Amino acid sequence: MIAPSLARAAGLFLGAAADAVVGDPRRGHPVAGFGALAAALERRGYADRRGAGVRHVALLVGGAVALGVVVERVAVGFVGRTVVTAAATWVVLGGTSLAREGSALAGELDRGDLAAARARLPGLCGRDPSTLDAGGLARAGTESMAENTSDAVVAPLLWGAVAGVPGLFGYRAVNTLDAMVGHRSPRYARFGWAAARLDDAANLVPARVCALSTAAVAPLVGGSPRSALRAWRRDAAAHPSPNAGPVEAAAAGALGVTLGGRTVYAHAVEERPRLGEGPPPGPADLRRAVRLGRLVSAAATVVAVAAATARPTAGRLRHRRRRPAHAAGPPCGTGGRPSGAAASRGG
């Protein structure tokens, strides 16, 4: 019998490959449907209180996880589990669409078409593009490539490795809700609190894996792993986001540019800390950031596939080591514990 963990690993790999080759579904994207549902529920249940936001998040994230559990349980056999995991992975990843938007923005900046670049920027981040010049647009695109590679690729892959289809669906629900309501505008300061805090928790480990991967692949974009790690260690803590800080600082160090500065949103203006060393990014650096994002995505796929298979193997090895000692020794009242632990790790 083929272990379910191998089906999970195969599905993650195939889903990541599908995203790399095809990109997002062009019509009827499930994440867009989830967003429409979330907006409808917000209209019915909004209140300027944290409790209302907690209920909103619990209902939508809980529903997404429950759907993932049902989908995974109805899949039969290795092929069935692989197919549903691959489909779920393809749906929740956004690496190729992100790279296409970043490349298109760089092309518009190269041509000096600021109107087109400003119109495109909201597809990458939530900043107000109306006052940005070419340098500001290039910086916004570079920072968004770094942060969104973590959010749209690394984190869902790792959650898929740990928790399968429920992890994929649950993480995408959390991150989508954070994008919709998890900002510090007057409307969402309290209602969006739960979404923002849950997204911070869900990305805590993935963001650091993303930063490490950024340092590892830095030479492939003409950068230095040491510079990426130094910028992360020195600059990340000053960033207001506990997760955007490491990935943006590591990207700045890998690319040899300086990120941060005045950042204008529709609801506020923030003065972001300086990250990295070097000149501000231009269109050529944005193209390098796109390439860096693709390389980090490939590295994250390898890590996720390895993680999906490593835990059950480790659990079986520990189980085998315990059995002879248990069989030779006196009864201890915990005869079922080793097999139960191994089984829980194999799920």
Q: What is the pLDDT of residues 245-301, one digit of tens each?
A: 999 999 999 999 999 988 877 667 778 899 999 999 999 999 999 999 999 999 999
* Whole-number percent of the chain with pLDDT over 70: 88
> pLDDT at residue 315 above 90?
no
CA distances from 317 to 152, 304, 308, 310 (A): 34, 21, 16, 11
- pLDDT tier at 302 (50, 70, 90 boundaries)? very high
Which letter does DSSP use for residue 272 in this model?
E
Q: What is the pLDDT of residue 322?
A: 52
Cα separation, 97 vs 94, whole angstroms = 6
Q: Structure pTM?
A: 0.86
Residue 337: pLDDT over 50:
no
Q: Is the pLDDT of residue 345 over 70?
A: no
- Return left, alpha or beta for 268; rule: phi > 0 is left, psi -120 to 50 is alpha, else beta: beta
Among 22-36, 48-62, 206-220, 306-320, name the one with the lowest average pLDDT.
306-320
pLDDT of res. 207? 98
Would you kindly state where each structural domain of the chain is located, as residue ranges?
4-321
